[in-house]
């Protein structure tokens, strides 16, 4: 119906256009529109047939994996293709997100205040989880805040529909087929209904946004009601998050990292997650806590992060920073979780406020990568995303032309590469 409506609007526009261009062109335009309409209907029909065929195959795989016939039919018998899910999965942002924009939206005064309130409200449970799993309370609350705004928004996409749609897309079919089967097993084991199983477009569920495979492996029935319910039980959700972080390798009695001060004239030769140094080495290089105090735990390994370049805040990420990135592979996310946890625990805001930067288009970043490759600074295949290799190549170029070698794509760097 949506397809028909859209084509009717196009035809209406063509008719209005023809009023000003004559009847002869009207006939040509209508003929062209009819051909397009027929092509669209054929494509839509083919898509529906492909999806139906895929669902039949998924039913067989689910049954073979041990899901009951009743669960398979109640879930996949009326499953729907969700085009929006594929749109979101394929969508690549036109512009890269700046750290100041990302951070300011996630570490807010309200979230800090609400986090502190919930830290007290759930204090007994959180302290119990600290003893059992080794995860300090403020971190569990911080993850909760970033994942679902403390459970206020857990997603409204039907998980079974979303996962089936993704499983029937060839790009990552095997992965999402596995997630779908796990979701069906969860539904069967805990008697969830389709309406209850709502989450993100990718199938993440509950207070802590676990994918079905993580749900099946790490979810905990902490309240003793017979099921690990991450949708409705805060006790189950926080306990499951603690179990997950513990299994990911969280180091007891250690911080995530911290904001640090760099000495004047720091040359940035040690930078990024692939260049870890001991805190003794960082101290010898002149780095200190923002208070000016020396860095503690000298034998701990840490990497230096400059998410907004040399003019912004600097962070050392410890072993638990890497654990956070196993939850979500984003340096911005790991810094936001760590600092939000610090704030919830009573710490002050960042010592250096992230400077505001304009968003940079992926096309411009791709051109930067192409220019670096042309000049002999190998960054791999240009894709418009500044990963570890791109930043290393960018640093080397910056150093070669006398710029601050912080691996940040500044205006001066673009100018030096001849990019406007």
Q: What CA–CA distance (Å, rounded) separates 312 from 100?
A: 9
Chain center to CA of 257 = 20
Q: What CA–CA distance (Å, rounded) separates 372 from 160?
A: 44
Q: What CA–CA distance (Å, rounded) separates 24 from 195?
A: 53
Q: What CA–CA distance (Å, rounded) separates 94 from 158?
A: 27
Long-range contact set of residues 393-399: C-beta below 8 Å, sequence gap at least 24: 393/369, 394/368, 395/268, 395/271, 397/372
Q: What CA–CA distance (Å, rounded) separates 179 from 183?
A: 6
DSSP character string of 307-367: TT-TTS-EEEE-HHHHHHHHHS--HHHHHHHHHHHHHHTTPPSPSSPPPP---EEHHHHHH
Q: What CA–CA distance (Å, rounded) separates 107 from 332?
A: 11
Q: Rounded to the nearest 10 degrees, what angle do helices 99-106 and 331-344 cross at?
A: 40
CA nearest to 75, candidates 158, 172, 154, 155: 158
Chain center to CA of 362 = 17
Q: What CA–CA distance (Å, rounded) separates 241 from 140?
A: 7
Three-class secondary structure assignment of 293-321: CCCCCCCCEEEEECCCCCCCCEEEECHHH
Q: What CA–CA distance (Å, rounded) separates 264 from 280?
A: 18
Q: What CA–CA distance (Å, rounded) separates 219 from 237?
A: 8
User: Tokens standing for 77?
Assistant: 């018998």
Cα-based angle 178, 179, 180 (whole degrees, multiple of 5): 90
Catalytic residue of the set 114, 132, 147, 259: 147
Q: Is 147 a catalytic residue?
A: yes
Q: What CA–CA distance (Å, rounded) separates 13 from 108?
A: 46
The residues with which 301 forms a beta bridge, in sequence order, are 278
Catalytic residue set: 147
């Amino acid at each position: 119906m949506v397809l028909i409506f859209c084509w009717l609007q196009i035809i209406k526009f063509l008719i209005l256009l023809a009023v000003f261009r004559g009847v002869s062109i009207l006939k040509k335009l209508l003929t062209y529109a009819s051909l397009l309409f027929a092509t669209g209907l054929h494509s839509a029909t083919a898509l529906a047939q492909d999806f139906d065929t895929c669902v039949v195959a998924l039913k067989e795989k689910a049954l073979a994996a041990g899901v009951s016939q009743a669960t398979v039919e109640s879930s996949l018998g009326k499953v729907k293709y969700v085009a929006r899910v594929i749109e979101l999965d394929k969508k690549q942002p036109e512009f890269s997100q700046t750290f100041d924009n990302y951070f300011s939206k996630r570490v807010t005064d309200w979230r800090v205040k609400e986090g502190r309130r919930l830290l007290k409200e759930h204090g007994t449970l959180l302290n119990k989880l600290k003893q059992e799993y080794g995860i300090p309370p403020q971190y569990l609350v911080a993850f909760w805040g970033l994942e679902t705004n403390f459970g206020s928004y857990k997603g409204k996409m039907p998980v079974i529909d979303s996962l089936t749609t993704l499983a029937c897309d060839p790009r990552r079919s095997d992965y999402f087929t596995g997630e779908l089967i796990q979701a069906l097993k969860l539904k069967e084991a805990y008697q969830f209904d389709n309406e209850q199983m709502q989450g993100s477009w990718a199938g993440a569920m509950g207070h802590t946004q676990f994918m079905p495979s993580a749900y099946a492996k790490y979810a905990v029935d902490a309240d003793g009601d017979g099921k690990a319910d991450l949708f409705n039980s805060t006790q189950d959700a926080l306990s499951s998050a603690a179990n997950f972080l513990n299994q990911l390798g969280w180091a007891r009695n250690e911080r995530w990292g911290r904001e640090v001060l760099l000495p004047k004239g720091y040359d940035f030769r040690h930078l990024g997650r692939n260049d870890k140094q001991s805190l003794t080495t960082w101290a010898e290089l002149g780095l200190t806590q923002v208070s000016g105090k020396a860095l503690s735990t000298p034998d701990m390994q840490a990497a230096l992060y400059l998410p907004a370049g040399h003019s912004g805040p600097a962070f050392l990420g410890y072993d638990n920073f890497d654990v956070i990135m196993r939850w979500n592979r984003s340096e911005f996310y790991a810094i936001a979780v760590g600092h939000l946890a610090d704030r919830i625990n009573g710490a002050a805001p960042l010592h250096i406020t992230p400077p505001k930067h304009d968003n940079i288009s992926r096309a411009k970043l791709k051109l930067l990568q192409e220019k670096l490759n042309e000049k002999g600074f190998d960054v791999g295949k240009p894709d418009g995303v500044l990963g570890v290799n791109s930043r290393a190549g960018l640093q080397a170029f910056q150093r070669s032309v006398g710029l601050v070698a912080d691996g940040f794509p500044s205006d001066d760097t673009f100018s030096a590469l001849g990019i406007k």
